[in-house]
Amino acid sequence: MCGIVGYTGRRQALDVLLKGLYTLEYRGYDSAGVAVQTPQGLRVVKTQGRMKTLDEKVHALGGLEGSCGIGHTRWATHGAPSDVNAHPHVSADGRFALVHNGIIENYLELREELQRDGFVFQSETDTETVVHLFQKLYCGDMVKTLTQVVARLRGGFALGVISSEKPGELVCVRRDNPLIVGFGEGENMIASDIPAILPVTRRYVVPGDEEIVHVTPQGVEFYSLSGERLTHTPQTVDWDVSSAEKGGYDHFMLKEIFEQPRAVRDTVSSRIRGGLPALEEYGLSDEMLRGVRNIHIVACGSALHAGLVGKAAIEKLARIPVLAQVASEFRYSDPIIGEGDLCIVISQSGETADTLAALREAKKRGARTLAICNVVSSSAAREADSVLYTWAGPEIAVATTKAYSAQLAALYLIAVRAALARGTMDEQTARRYCDDISSLPDKIETLLKTREQMSELARLYSDREDTFFLGRGVDYAAAQEASLKLKEISYVHSEAYAGGELKHGTISLIEEGTLVAALACDPALYEKIISNIKSVKARGASVVLVTNGNYEADGEMCDHVVHLPQCLPELSASLSIIPLQLFAYYIGVYRGCDIDKPRNLAKSVTVE
């Protein structure tokens, strides 16, 4: 959600900024802009629309000459997408330009104060409030001024500021929002995410919350709000820029679907030792797991759907009560959680605002916390008591695929380790589960070969405006993720239902030609879900059955069958989702949708 890039050094800043902003398009945005220190002062170009529009607009003006600047892609919150509301915003006197991610909660209060002081606002944004406040408080020192500004702000944010009076300097700060600092040779950068800095450097630091960062071509300095000088040791990116490129695929989403075997393999291979899960280094000792009273899994979107599968696996295998909750509701529900409980928060980025708020609430109430996330040194990783990284690599498409699959794999390991620790599973059975978990990458590889079949099914059904997914048990959790994929990529109205709920109202929506995708991956529930499928088929639905059972399309039960390899029922969500990801992808393609940048969505949701 929104993207920040800043550069100072020996190159033309505009080229670096534009390239960086292009790499951050996946975060979701509806307008973009840049500001550069030029010999004529600050020059700002911004526009509603895509990066291509900004690129064309800048070069139509002859480019912006200068070696220090900031850029931004905006996802609208305060004020509709427009040229005026786009970032960067400029102070009333034209000396300062500022970019901002997040939300300033007290912006109305500050706006009224600034208006009384004579400031005139051009936009509807909370961001313009901050740049005028910066001008009002400016004391000749960028670091000290930003420190004073931060003290006046409520909410979560990342800020980057440049001044016409300080050539080559930029300052930045973060609070509960992602921001990194890249260290080059005679050039340095700031950005919302790693891909934006890779053309310049692979060395970076994630500053702590409310650390003021002063960046010049010669170096980077970190300060606390009290003015204390801080030190950080840069980390090195261990993946190549090509990992953040399409690599010959038409879309990032398709590339990432095909990267799932590696993502799952990397997540589990180093954590199965001697045929059993080895999780002590992640704070999941047998002693802790034996003593845990309840487990709360808290997440949003696809991560929550992974949590629902994890809930089913942990409860069945380890017999621990598990509550999977929407992160945005957890914080405000006065949750019953405390000492003796484990709170597992799941977030691809580790920066999801609602999930971070839930993590802090759980810690405040005395629960032990574990983060499952994909981004090293993210806020969730730093703040949780322990962290289990999913080694999925950079995920660029807004609609998650490989990160979701890696999250499932991590949760399976936790379920098996907890079952062993609590004596609800013997070692021989645990080894069988670990063998099946280790075999998931090869089985996913096999399912990727359904690509042509799913493309053809998508072609047949791409004109349908309503789709229903049915499942029972783990299949119901998997159906929720499959439904989300379809609606977010293709904009087709889609709902997932537990098979047994059909007769309690939902079946009234089934009519001739309604598309139903049904999952049947647990032999213990075959008969029940097949009965549900026949009831929709009898009412004229077109049915696609995804199953590991011995079923064929017969016209009476279903129109098409997608066959899955065999696996333990608790793990089946890792397989059933693969063809349904491909189905959603191709429906979106046939409908002409922007696959990697679906409308109104953002990759990392850093506001509540």
Catalytic center residues: 2, 603
Q: How far apart are the first and last CA of the chain?
A: 11
Query: Helix (H, G, I), strand (E, B), or coil: what is residue 355?
Result: helix
Structure-token pair, residue 185? 């040779």
Instruction: Kindly report the backbone phi and psi dihedral angles of residue 169, in degrees, each rounded to the nearest multiple of 5, phi listed first.
Output: -105, 145
Q: What is the dihedral of CA 578, 27, 241, 446, to 10 degrees?
A: 0
Work out the angle at residue 58's Cα, subtended by the Cα atoms of residues 52 and 63, and round it to the nearest 5 degrees. 135
d(CA 462, CA 457): 8
CB 170 within 8 A of CB 161: yes
Smallest CA-to-CA distance from 27 within 348, 249, 481 is with 348
CA distances to 452, 521, 566 from 530, rounded to whole Å, are 26, 11, 18
Instruction: Give the strand pairing for 3-8 and 188-191.
Output: antiparallel
DSSP code per residue over 275-291? TEE--GGGT--HHHHHH
What is the C-alpha R_g of the chain?
25
CB 143 within 8 A of CB 223: yes
Which ranges of 448-546 does DSSP label H, i.e. alpha helix? 451-461, 474-490, 526-537
Q: What is the dihedral of CA 461, 467, 472, 476, to 10 degrees?
A: 100
Smallest CA-to-CA distance from 344 within 332, 333, 330, 6 is with 330
Long-range contacts of 109-116 (CB under 8 A, 24+ apart): 110/152, 110/153
Query: Helix (H, G, I), strand (E, B), or coil: what is residue 31?
Result: strand
Length in residues, the chain: 608
Beta bridge partners of 382: none
d(CA 572, CA 556): 25
Query: Helix (H, G, I), strand (E, B), or coil: what is residue 383?
Result: helix
Q: Write the DSSP symbol of residue 603.
A: S
- The beta strand positions in 292-442, using DSSP E, are 294-299, 322-326, 341-347, 368-373, 386-389
d(CA 33, CA 58): 9
CB 493 within 8 A of CB 466: yes
DSSP code per residue over 400-433? -SHHHHHHHHHHHHHHHHHHHHHTSS-HHHHHHH
d(CA 292, CA 314): 12
CB 310 within 8 A of CB 396: no
CA distances to 38, 52, 53, 59, 349 from 56, rounded to whole Å, are 19, 6, 5, 5, 31
How crowded is residue 334: how many other Cβ atoms within 10 Å of its Cβ? 9
